[in-house]
Amino acid sequence: MTIANDRLSDPTVRALVAAINAGDRTAFLALLTPDATMSDDGTERDLLGWVDREIFSSNGHLDVQSESADGRALVADYRNDTWGEMRTAWRFTVTGDHITHFATGQA
């Protein structure tokens, strides 16, 4: 069963999921530290190139199925126009109210 976005525990992660689902690149980037990093399936990626390709130019959308680690680890059905839908895991490192790193990959 999908967890409604407003029920996600961590406010920063909640805002990031909302930005993804709204297609709001500006809001998404505002939640990241200037030196934020990310990895996909264990490989470090160019953050801006990845989010533009995998989220914002391909209509990415997250339906969160479960959360753990105080809301900083999610399992979600992720879909975009490039890859279709897949079960994914997301882990976020949050400092203050900004994300310094996130990791995603198939769950």
Q: Which domain holds residue 84?
A: 5-106
Q: For the full predicted model, state whether its pTM sits above 0.75.
A: yes
Distance CA(78)–CA(86), nearest Å, equals: 5
Residue 58: CB atoms within 10 Å:
14
pLDDT of residue 50: 97
Q: Mean pLDDT of all residues in the chain?
A: 97
SS3 76: strand
In the beta sheet, which residues pair with residue 90?
74, 104
Does 6 have pLDDT greater than 90? yes
pLDDT tens track for 8-50: 999 999 999 999 999 999 999 999 999 999 999 999 999 999 9
CATH number at residue 18: 3.10.450.50
pLDDT of residue 1: 81
Q: What is the mean pLDDT of residues 45-74?
A: 97
Distance CA(28)–CA(16), nearest Å, equals: 6
Per the listing, tokens 């959308």 go with 61
What is the domain count for the chain? 1
